[in-house]
Structures are given as structure tokens and as C-alpha cells.
Amino acid sequence: MAKLMTRLAAEHRKAHPEAGPIRILNCPGIRAVESAARAKKVPFGPDGAATNGQRTVDRWLPIFGWSDEQVWATIRRSVIRHHPAYDAGMPRLSCVFCVLAGRRELTLAARLNPGLLQDYVAVEQQVRSDFKHGLSMKDIAAAAASRQ
């Protein structure tokens, strides 16, 4: 998002050199129920980290208070196609192998992405360190292979 905001600010300055900083409203689709850290966010307010001399950024979280049921009801009513990983059983999407994901999600991601899994196993061996404390990608590969 920061790269996009930088590009928008540059385009704005080029088209309107006399104007001051561009105002941007950033609307990420995050929800309070996704994590304890996200639950502490404010649904609307200034985004100090994204604001600089070229842009003033506010952040609005339009679905912040929504439940899973509200999200899926909205998707079903719309023409928006959802990502097929949800149909495979993933509860949410992030990095394919997110260090914050649980064992179940990592194992499912391993089944869905066997080539990428092998890349992670190789890197883990090369750096001689587990993917997560107490959980290696080799363990995840074994769980995926045994359908655990």
C-alpha cells in the first residue's frame, strides 16, 4: 500500500504542482476478530505511519466489526468470486506459510503448495533453523504427507 500511496502522491504533484499534499483514504479489509492486535485498532482515524509531507492518509476499516457470517453473506450476495483456498479449508488468507499460522493451516497450505513447501524445507535445512520455534517445515511436510 505504501508504494501505491507514494505513486499516487507523485502523480498528484505532477498533475497539480500548485496543490498541497494529497489526501488519501486507505480502506484495508481487516476485522477485529482476526487477532488480538487487530481488535485494538481504531476503525477510523489518521494513519501517522503513512502520512508524510506529500500525503495525508486516513485509514478506515469498513468491515472492522463484521463477523465471519456477515463477510460470507456479503460475498454470496455479490458477484465477487472468493479465493479457492477458502473452499480448500483455509480460514483466512495471508502468506502461504505464515509464521503466525497454526499447524493445521500450515499443513493444509503444504498440501495445496507442495513445490513451495519443498523450497521452504530446503531453506530451513540450509539455514539450520526451524520455520517456527519448535516446528519445522520438515514436520509440516510429514504431517501433510500423512494427512494429519
- Tens of pLDDT, residues 47-94: 999 999 999 999 999 999 999 999 999 999 998 899 999 999 998 888
Pick from 101, 134, 136, 100: nearest CA to 120:
136
Q: Give pTM, 2 decimals.
A: 0.70
Listed in sequence order, the residues at least 6 apart from 23 whose beta carbon sits closer than 8 Å to its beta carbon are 55, 56, 57, 58
Whole-number Cα distances in Å, 60 to 41, 53, 75, 91: 10, 21, 20, 23
In this structure, the number of other CB atoms found within 10 A of the CB of residue 119 comes to: 12
